[in-house]
C-alpha cells in the first residue's frame, strides 16, 4: 500500500478514448492497493487551439489573461478524467491547481512554485478518493491564476509528490523511458534503468527532451525519485534518482544529440576587458539562449569569439549583435548553420580518465571533423557537421559500449 503520484501528458489524454484508457490504468493502480493522485496535462492540441484563439483577439495578449485562458485546457482534462473514473465505479474528484494548493509567484506564463498547501488533496485521499489535479497551473497568494510554462505539468507532479510525501512519482508519457540515444537515430539504443538527476539534467540540456530541466532540478532539490515510463504499455521505465555508488561504474550513461544549431563568430574582437561581457549581456537581454562559447587565443590585439545557439534564434540575436559589434570595434559578425551538437553524459566521467579522448578517437576513425569542444564535469560535447550526426551518434554509442 503506497501513495503514488502519476502524471499523464497531453498525448496520453489526447482523446476521450485515451482518457478512458488512462482511467483504466489508474483503476488498476488502485486495485493493487495504492492511493493515487493523478496530474494531467491539456489534451494534445488544446493549448495550441487556445493560443490561436487568443491571437484572433490580439497578437500580444496580456500574460495575466493568457494564464486564465490556457488553464482551461487542464481543467477540461481533470473533469473528463474524473468522469471516466466515476463511470467505471471509482470515487474520483478533480482539483484545479489552485484547489490543490499550488501557490506560485506572480510571473504570469512562467510562474515558479512557491509552496504547496495540499489540504484538499489530503482530505480527498483520506476519503479514499482518487484525486485528479490539473498540471501546469497554480495561483498567487492574492488569488490570480498562473501557469508554470513549458513542462509545467511534470513540475506539478513532482512538486505534489514532494508535498504529500508520495512513495512513487510516475511520469507517464509517449516514450518508454530515457534511452542511451534517440532510437530513431541509433537503432541499438537501450532503455536506461536508472539515471542520476545530474545526468538527466545534462541529457535534457543536450537535446534529449523527455523532460524540462526545471522539473528535474525541482526533483533533485526535494529528493523526489521519479520514473519516466510509457502510458501505452506496462514496461518498466527509467528511474531518476540521487546518484549511487554503482552508477559511477558506467562511464557514459547516454549520447545526446541536438540538431538545428548555428555557430556565430565575431571576428577580431579588441582584446581588452569588458568586450566579452558587452557582447553576452546584449544577447542575454534579448532572451536568446546561447550554448557553447569558444574564444580563440589572441592574434595581435584581437580575438575571435564563437558561440552556438538554436538556428531559429539567429535573426533575433543578429539584430542585437550588429550594433554591439560596431560599438566595440570588432571586424564582423556572421553565422554558420548546418551544424549539430553531440554530447556524452555520465557521472562516471569524474572517476574515469580518457573519456574525451575515446570520443575524439571514435569520431576521427569515422573521418568526422570536430569544430568546437566543450566539457563539464559529467559531459563532453562537440560540434560537428549536421549531415554526419547520425553516423557520429552510432560510432560514439558503439565506442562506449552502450548497446550492451
**What is the binding site for a second copy (CB under 8 A)?**
16-17, 19-20, 50, 53-54, 56-58, 60-62, 64-66, 68-69, 71-72, 75-76, 78-80, 82-84, 86-87, 93-94, 96, 99, 120, 143, 145
Nearest distance, CB of residue 305 and a second copy, angstroms: 41
| 41 or 308: CB nearest a second copy | 41
Is the CA virtual torsion 245, 249, 251, 252 positive or negative? Answer: negative
> Which residue is listed with cell 579588441?
270
How far apart are CB 61 and a second copy at their closest, in Å? 4
Residue placing its CB nearer to a second copy in the complex, 61 or 149: 61
Residues 6 or more apart in contact with residue 275 via CB below 8 angstroms: 269, 328, 330
- Nearest CB to a second copy, comparing residues 56 and 234: 56
Least distance to a second copy, CB of residue 234, Å: 23
Closest CA to 305 of 283, 329, 326, 330: 330
Residue 99 CB, nearest approach to a second copy (Å): 6
Q: Select 44 or 76, whichever has its Cβ closest to a second copy.
A: 76
Question: By C-beta, is 49 or 249 nearer to a second copy?
Answer: 49
Minimum separation from the CB atom of position 11 to a second copy (A): 18
In this complex, which beta carbon is closest to a second copy, that of residue 120 or of residue 371? 120
Question: Cβ of residue 231: shortest distance to a second copy, in angstroms?
Answer: 17
Residues 6+ apart with CB under 8 A from 315: none
C-alpha cell, 3: 501513495
Side by side, the strands of the sheet bearing 379-385 are 290-295, 302-310, 254-270, 332-345, 379-385, 372-376
The cell for 333 is 559578425
The CA-CA-CA angle for residues 158, 164, 165, to 5°, reads: 80
Amino acid at each position: 500500500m503506497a501513495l503514488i503520484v502519476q502524471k499523464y501528458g497531453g498525448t496520453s489524454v489526447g482523446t476521450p478514448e485515451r482518457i478512458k484508457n488512462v482511467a483504466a490504468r489508474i483503476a488498476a493502480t488502485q486495485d493493487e492497493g495504492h492511493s493515487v493522485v493523478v496530474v494531467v496535462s491539456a489534451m494534445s492540441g488544446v493549448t495550441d487551439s487556445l493560443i490561436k484563439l487568443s491571437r484572433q483577439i490580439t497578437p500580444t495578449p496580456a500574460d495575466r489573461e493568457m494564464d486564465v485562458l490556457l488553464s482551461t485546457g487542464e481543467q477540461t482534462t481533470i473533469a473528463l478524467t474524473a468522469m471516466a473514473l466515476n463511470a467505471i465505479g471509482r470515487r474520483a474528484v478533480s482539483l484545479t491547481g489552485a484547489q490543490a494548493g499550488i501557490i506560485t509567484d506572480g510571473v504570469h506564463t512562467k510562474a515558479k512554485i512557491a509552496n504547496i498547501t495540499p489540504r484538499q488533496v489530503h482530505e480527498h485521499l483520506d476519503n479514499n478518493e482518487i484525486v485528479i489535479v490539473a498540471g501546469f497551473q497554480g495561483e498567487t497568494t492574492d488569488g490570480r491564476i498562473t501557469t508554470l510554462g513549458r513542462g509545467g505539468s511534470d513540475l506539478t507532479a513532482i512538486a505534489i509528490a514532494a508535498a504529500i510525501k508520495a512513495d512513487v512519482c510516475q511520469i507517464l508519457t509517449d516514450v518508454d523511458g530515457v534511452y542511451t540515444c534517440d532510437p530513431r537515430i541509433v537503432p541499438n539504443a537501450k532503455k536506461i534503468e536508472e539515471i542520476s538527476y545530474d545526468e538527466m539534467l545534462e541529457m535534457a540540456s543536450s537535446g534529449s527532451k523527455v523532460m524540462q530541466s526545471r522539473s528535474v532540478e525541482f526533483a533533485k532539490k526535494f529528493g523526489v525519485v521519479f520514473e519516466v515510463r510509457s502510458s501505452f504499455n506496462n514496461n518498466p521505465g527509467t528511474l531518476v534518482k540521487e546518484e549511487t555508488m554503482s552508477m559511477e561504474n558506467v562511464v557514459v550513461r547516454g549520447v545526446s544529440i541536438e540538431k538545428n544549431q548555428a555557430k556565430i563568430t565575431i571576428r577580431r574582437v579588441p582584446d581588452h576587458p569588458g568586450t566579452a561581457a558587452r557582447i553576452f549581456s546584449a544577447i542575454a537581454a534579448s532572451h536568446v539562449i546561447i550554448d557553447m562559447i569558444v574564444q580563440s587565443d589572441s592574434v595581435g590585439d584581437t580575438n575571435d569569439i564563437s558561440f552556438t545557439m538554436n538556428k531559429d534564434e539567429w535573426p533575433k540575436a543578429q539584430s542585437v549583435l550588429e550594433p554591439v559589434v560596431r560599438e566595440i570595434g570588432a571586424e564582423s559578425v556572421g553565422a554558420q548553420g548546418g551544424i549539430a551538437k553531440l554530447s556524452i553524459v555520465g557521472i562516471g566521467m569524474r572517476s574515469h580518465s580518457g573519456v574525451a579522448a575515446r570520443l575524439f578517437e571514435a569520431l576521427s576513425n569515422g573521418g568526422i571533423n570536430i569544430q568546437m569542444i566543450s566539457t563539464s564535469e559529467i559531459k563532453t560535447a562537440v560540434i560537428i557537421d549536421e549531415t554526419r550526426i547520425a553516423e557520429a551518434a552510432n560510432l560514439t554509442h558503439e565506442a562506449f559500449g552502450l548497446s550492451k
